[in-house]
Amino acid sequence: MSENEERYLELGVDVHKRGIGYFLKVIPNLFPYAFTTVVLDPEDKDTGLILHVDGAGSKPIIAYLCYKEMKGHGWFKGLAQDVVAMNIDDVIAVGAKPIVFADYIALNAIRIPRDIVLKEMSSGFKEVFEKLSAIEREFRITPIFAGGETADLPDQTRTLDVVGALFARVKINQVIDGSKITEGDVIVGLRSGGKAKYEDRENSGIMCNGLTLARHVLLKHEYYEKYPELGEELVKRKYYGTHSVDEYIDELGMTIGEALLSPTRIYAPIIAEIIAKYHDYVKGLCHNTGGGLTKILRLGRGIRYVKDNLPEPDPIFKLIQREGKVSWREMYQVFNMGIGFEIIVPKDVADDVIDISEKYGVGAQVIGRVERSHGENELLIRSKYGRFLYRRMKE
């Protein structure tokens, strides 16, 4: 592994999540090669249950910095959509119906007045659930918001952390588990950037993953000197960029802060309609979060995925790569690179899936195909930036 390919690990983040295998051994997961864990309902053998937990990553740190530097309170609001998106799109990736959502907000009230954070976050949750309810169709996608927990943890939390938990159900015989993925299927990729019809503004496409690498690569070191709570003292190289959060970048069409805090796109309305109309043809669903474009490796067995028709990465990814001199191999492994969600279907229904996505204003295209592998899952990415081969790590 070259120096450039260790950038994320140097910052204390392991994209491979080594050690998670210890938990996998004790979880009664019914579908180990599906995207999300499903356990059996002890009171109904025909029903699978999901309790999914995910957060906004290190995005809250960027919101905190924008709050400190620009004094506006609205920087925290978008974190609500990030947390909902990270949970609801993971759950729908096995065809499950969201039932109840709860949040968990841990903050250092010495540095951030709790009323400011809670007011903005509550407004954000209200807004995102109202939007989802307004675009529901055949498939119920809006969970009940059941509140959650707020914790003042000044001794444990430098700034704040925002997490959500989503309970969902799915009929066992309706689970999309990747077991039917076969050679010749195609991968349809849905764009993460731009503006969907149900969104209020342009999205940079970065979603919620890779923000630790992005902020250290792009933001200037003066921020750490001014706010040491933004970083870990033991990390040797931190905040080595040249940009300010309020700096407008023509290439992005927005400021650095706005680009890094663009709310994660919620794909659930699109995926819900695709499932409702083409369930029997949908072989696999992948939400490109931790692991970026290599996330698909967790789906199915003995599969070789080939992505050789990827769109040009959104400007935010090119900026990160250029400014940080991050290898393209690591970029594809850390970031979604412009494709936030992937759908594996037979070739003859790909156009129908693309039409549904584009109806919502989200660009989509066939980005690759499925081949047969004779061992662990493999992913081959062919792009003008290089040819990269990845393999699923043994748990």
User: Residue 28: its pLDDT value, please?
Assistant: 77
User: Residue 392: its pLDDT value, please?
Assistant: 84
Q: What is the mean pLDDT of residues 13-28?
A: 62
User: Residue 237: its pLDDT value, please?
Assistant: 85
Half-sphere exposure of 281 (CA within 13 A, CB side): 19
The pair of structure tokens assigned to 102 is 């709860």
- According to DSSP, the residues that pair with 248 across neighbouring strands are 255
User: Residue 2: its pLDDT value, please?
Assistant: 44
pLDDT for 181 beyond 90 = yes
Q: What is the mean pLDDT of residues 117-130?
A: 95
Specify the DSSP class assigned to residue 81.
H
DSSP state string for 224-274: HHH-GGGS-TT-SS---B-B-TT-EETTTTEEHHHHHTPPPPP-HHHHHHH
**Which residue, chain included where needed, has tokens 């290898």?**
327
pLDDT grade for 16, boundaries at 50, 70 and 90:
low
Q: What is the mean pLDDT of residues 74-95?
A: 96
pLDDT grade for 120, boundaries at 50, 70 and 90:
very high
Distance CA 2, CA 8 (A): 12
User: Residue 3: its pLDDT value, please?
Assistant: 44
Nearest to 222 by CA among 240, 200, 204, 248: 240
User: Residue 10: its pLDDT value, please?
Assistant: 60
Q: What is the mean pLDDT of residues 130-158?
A: 87
Q: What is the CATH number of domain 4-209+260-391?
A: 3.90.650.10
In angstroms, what CA-CA distances link 31 with 21, 97, 174, 275?
Answer: 15, 17, 12, 19
pLDDT for 5 beyond 90 = no
User: Residue 138: its pLDDT value, please?
Assistant: 65
pTM for the whole structure: 0.93
- According to DSSP, the residues that pair with 207 across neighbouring strands are none
User: Residue 90: its pLDDT value, please?
Assistant: 97
Task: Give the tens place of pLDDT for each residue, 182-196.
Answer: 999 999 999 999 999
Q: What is the mean pLDDT of residues 276-297?
A: 96
What value, to the nearest 5°, has the Cα angle with vertex 33 and ends 209 and 286? 35
Where is pLDDT greater, at 193 or 232? 193
User: Residue 372: its pLDDT value, please?
Assistant: 86
Task: Give the tens place of pLDDT for each residue, 163-172.
Answer: 999 999 999 9
pLDDT for 316 beyond 50 = yes
pLDDT for 76 beyond 90 = yes
Q: What percent of the chain has pLDDT over 70?
A: 92
How do the domains of the chain map onto residue ranges? Answer: 4-209+260-391
